[in-house]
Structure 1
Amino acid sequence: MSEQNWESVTVIRKSGTRPKVARKEADVTRARRTGAEIQTERKTQGGTNKGATGLHYQQLAKIDYANDVVAPPKVKADTAQAIRKARADKSLTQKELATKINEKPQVVQEYESGKAIPNQQVLTKMERALGVKLRGTNIGEPLGPRGKKK
């Protein structure tokens, strides 16, 4: 048999030297004082699983260069007027209508003044409580009977 050398050491895996990642500002400051080489990178998609695509940057540039700020759509004047008229016909106060539809009185006030951003669920509740169409065509007309469509 051959003679074995028990004194030699065989390293199976040796981890390569990896650059140290400084997570704290104090580590970066300490490295600057010692004169160590510092490399900084800024992550554009930090904390997300999305990859950076060309389309993403185009969308960001489009947003950056857009000068017009579009205000969200408000309740139309004819809808606001139909709400006021139907509420007055039923001789309800804004507070009573709000109680009927389980909303705050301020919501009814905003819809009647035309300052509210339309919410389909709130408009549906108002339609049912007032018995008047508030969406689509024929705004202000009485609601038809509920039932199956043919």
Structure 2
Amino acid sequence: MNETDWDSVTKIGRGVHSRTTITRAHAGVNEARRTGTVVGVEKRFSAGSNKAHKTTEGQKMAKIDRENDIIPLKTTGRDIGMIISKVRQEKNIKQSELAQKINEKVSVINEYETGKAIPNQAILSKLEKVLGIKLRGTGIGQTLTGPKK
């Protein structure tokens, strides 16, 4: 490196690149065009069209806020729990073994058998596959049939 070159400057770090300036007035855009700098003009998405108020999400949230009662979550019910425990006992499977087969905790199986569990479609699907019975939709308790040939 030449020690006598005092005019050149090497910038390292964050300040290397110049920052883009955002101007909202037409005067700033015109001034930038006169000086020859690169100008990009972009229209804002849905500017001036009041699209934020066309959804009914705010109405739904306001209705929920006005309601004073607390709605309890839906549970699986005692009938599904009885079916799960009956089929599990017919196949001589313990709750811990069933939990291990579907990769869940024993407490989850216990909640489903007592009917206190909040329905989870993934867990119900795993239980259906292991037990071989239908636990969702119509025909609850029927044996699962194989694929059509």
TM-score (norm 1): 0.58
Counterpart AA for 1:62: K
Name the residue aligned to 2:80: 79
Distance 1:56 1:90 in 2: 48
How far does residue 81 in structure 1 lie from its aligned partner after superposition? 0.8
Counterpart AA for 1:73: K
SS of 1:141's equivalent in the other structure is coil
Counterpart AA for 1:90: K
* Structure 2: tracts of 5 or more residues without a match: 1-26, 28-50
Distance 1:56 1:89 in 2: 49
Distance 1:128 1:66 in 2: 40
Distance 2:103 2:60 in 1: 40
- The count of corresponding residues between Structure 1 and Structure 2 is 101
SS of 2:86's equivalent in the other structure is helix
Name the residue aligned to 2:103: 102
Aligned Cα RMSD in Å?
A: 2.4
Name the residue aligned to 1:147: 147
Contact between 1:98 and 1:104, CA under 8 Å: does it hold in 2?
yes
Distance 1:110 1:62 in 2: 32
SS of 1:91's equivalent in the other structure is coil
Superposition map of 1:1-150 within 5 A: 53=53, 55=56, 57-144=58-145, 146-148=146-148
TM-score (norm 2): 0.59
Contact between 1:95 and 1:105, CA under 8 Å: does it hold in 2?
yes
Distance 2:80 2:57 in 1: 39
SS of 2:137's equivalent in the other structure is coil
SS of 2:98's equivalent in the other structure is helix
Per the alignment, do residues 53 and 76 of structure 1 end up closer, same or farther by CA in structure 2, a change over 3 Å counting?
Answer: same
* Structure 1: tracts of 5 or more residues without a match: 1-12, 14-50
Per the alignment, do residues 129 and 57 of structure 1 end up closer, same or farther by CA in structure 2, a change over 3 Å counting?
Answer: closer
Distance 2:95 2:53 in 1: 51
Counterpart AA for 1:143: L
User: Structure 1 vs Structure 2: percent identity of aligned residues?
Assistant: 48
